[in-house]
Amino acid sequence: MEFTLRQEALVNSSWEAFNQNLPLFSVLFYTFILEKAPIAKNMFSVLKDANEIPLANPSINAHTEMVFEMVRDAAAQLQTTGQVVLGDTTLGVVHTQKRVDGLHFMVVKEALLKTIKEAVGDKWSEELSNAWEIAYDGLAVAIMKEMS
Ligand code: HEM
């Protein structure tokens, strides 16, 4: 099915809301991830020995920023070409080494959608959430294809 300009616009505008307060939404994103998958704590070097998710931690913020930016880029790709091509094919190796699996990708998707919901407040809609979900799924499949 076609990914419409409207869906791309929904992703872009909500990404802007998210990006307004990256440190806050980054902590929220990881809170949602660890609620569902406490085991993920051991995957991230900065979380491993910490009692709580460090606020404004550059490394945590960096992964959050990359995930949300790449989903946004995936939405743009879907709109223009109908498919998601991974710019950085080493992402497969990185996630394989960290023992990331399909379930983790589901957990991260759920956390991403909940974070976007918080970021946009009353602008949230089923349509907006679906647009993020489609873009995320396209990207996750592209990464998983590179994983051994
Ligand atoms: C690293 C993106 C999903 C765990 C990375 C990096 C990027 C990235 C760009 C940095 C790679 C590098 O250092 O060269 C993404 C995207 C995802 C995704 C776009 C989903 C579409 C996940 C999931 C998990 C995960 C589901 C596990 C819960 C990690 C870990 C690292 C990493 C542990 C290494 C960071 C560290 O050592 O602290 N990811 N990722 N990622 N990712 Fe992901």
Q: What DSSP element (H or E) covers 9?
A: helix 5-19
Domains and CATH numbers, the chain: 5-145 (1.10.490.10)
**DSSP assignment letter at 83:** S
Q: Note the pLDDT tens digit of each residue in 71-114.
A: 999 999 999 999 999 988 899 999 999 889 999 999 999 999 99
Q: Which atom of ligand 1 is nearest to the CA of 60?
A: 38
| Residues at CB less than 6 angstroms from ligand 1 | 40, 43-45, 59, 63, 66-67, 70, 91, 94-95, 98, 100, 104-105, 108, 136, 139-140, 143
pLDDT greater at residue 41 or residue 56: 41
Answer yes or no: is 125 a known binding residue: no
User: For residue 105, which atom of ligand 1 is closest to its CA?
Assistant: 26
